[in-house]
Structure 1
Amino acid sequence: MADLHFELVTPERLVRSEDVYMVVVPGVEGDFGAMAGHAPVMTVLKDGELKIYKTAGGQPESINVAGGFAEVGDNGLTVLAESAGE
Structure 2
Amino acid sequence: MALKFELVTPERLVRSEDVHMVVVPGSEGDFGVLEGHSPMMSTIRSDAAVEIYASEGAAPERIAIAGGFAEVNDKGLTILAESVG
Fold agreement, TM-score > 0.5: yes
The corresponding residue for 2:54 is: 54
Per-residue deviation at 1:67?
Answer: 1.1
How far apart, CA to CA, are the structure 1 residues paired with 2:26 and 2:78? 13
How far apart, CA to CA, are the structure 2 residues paired with 1:8 and 1:32? 16
* Letter of the 2:51 counterpart: K
Instruction: Tell me if 1:74 matches 2:74.
Output: yes
How far apart, CA to CA, are the structure 2 residues paired with 1:55 and 1:45? 24
TM norm structure 1: 0.96
When the two structures are aligned, how many residues end up with a matched partner?
Answer: 84
Deviations 1:48-84 (A, max 9, x none): 0100000001000000011110000011000000001
Identity of aligned residues (%): 63
Gaps (5+ residues) in structure 1? none
The corresponding residue for 1:32 is: 31
How far apart, CA to CA, are the structure 1 residues paired with 2:67 and 2:58? 27
Gaps (5+ residues) in structure 2? none
Instruction: Tell me if 1:8 matches 2:7.
Output: yes
CA RMSD of aligned residues (A): 0.5
How far apart, CA to CA, are the structure 2 residues paired with 1:58 and 1:67? 26
How far apart, CA to CA, are the structure 1 residues paired with 2:55 and 2:67? 27
TM norm structure 2: 0.97
Moved over 4 A (4+): none
